[in-house]
Amino acid sequence: MNTTIPLYLLLAYGISTPCFLVMAVFNSHLRKIRPRYLSTANIIAALAALLMIILLVIDLRNARRINADDSFYQYRSATILPIILFLSAACLLTLSRKLRRNVLFTLVLIAIYCICIFKDAVYVFFTGFSRDYLPSSWSYYYSAYDLYILIYAAVYLAICYFIAAKPVSRSRR
């Protein structure tokens, strides 16, 4: 199953949100809209994480149907289930309005999403210290690095900024 769209959305979130937070330190206008920006960015990231959860569950179900007796299914379920749990917890915590406007919570979310996205890279890093590590297997590892990620991050930043910067009517305050 292809999880490219939510993956790129979460990567764009992980790049653009810290950039916005750094810019907000130096710009008073950005500092004023920071809570609305964080709320918008965290909601969009939670929706992308929810979409990724759905795609991972479908992928896990298909792997079970095809390779029920194979060790590949056991490996796949052992690697996907913790990621599904982490993403689910992050999505549920994002429902709290007070939390999703918090800078520290946003940084924790970015860390959770990055760990879930780069789980294979973390695995390769830690298994690289063992004696059984085979560099010839690197050709099977696919990294999510792409030049388009920076473009997605810029578009994500712009969309969240324009949603957060739009004037709020007095009845919604």
Specify the pLDDT at position 1.
46
Categorize the per-residue pLDDT at 152 as very low, low, confident or very high, splitting at 50, 70 and 90: confident
- Examine residue 159 and state whether it is found in any structural domain, yes or no: yes
In sequence order, the 6+-apart residues with CB closer than 8 A to the CB of 48 are 5, 6, 9, 10, 13
Question: pLDDT (tens digit, 9 = 90+) per residue, 5-22?
Answer: 888 888 899 999 999 999
Give the number of residues written for the chain. Answer: 173
- How many domains, in total, are found in the chain? 1
- Examine residue 170 and state whether it is found in any structural domain, yes or no: no
- Examine residue 57 and state whether it is found in any structural domain, yes or no: yes
Question: pLDDT (tens digit, 9 = 90+) per residue, 99-147?
Answer: 999 999 999 999 999 888 887 666 666 666 554 555 555 555 555 556 7
Given a contact cutoff of 8 angstroms between Cβ atoms, the answer to whether 60 and 80 are in contact is: yes
- Examine residue 161 and state whether it is found in any structural domain, yes or no: yes
- Examine residue 172 and state whether it is found in any structural domain, yes or no: no
Helix (H) or strand (E) holding 49: helix 28-66
- Examine residue 133 and state whether it is found in any structural domain, yes or no: no
Please choose, from the candidates 144, 39, 47, 158, the residue with its C-alpha nearest in 3D space to the C-alpha of residue 102: 39
- Examine residue 132 and state whether it is found in any structural domain, yes or no: no
- The whole-model pTM stands at 0.77
Given a contact cutoff of 8 angstroms between Cβ atoms, the answer to whether 45 and 11 are in contact is: no
- Examine residue 70 and state whether it is found in any structural domain, yes or no: yes
Range of the domain at 110: 4-127+138-165
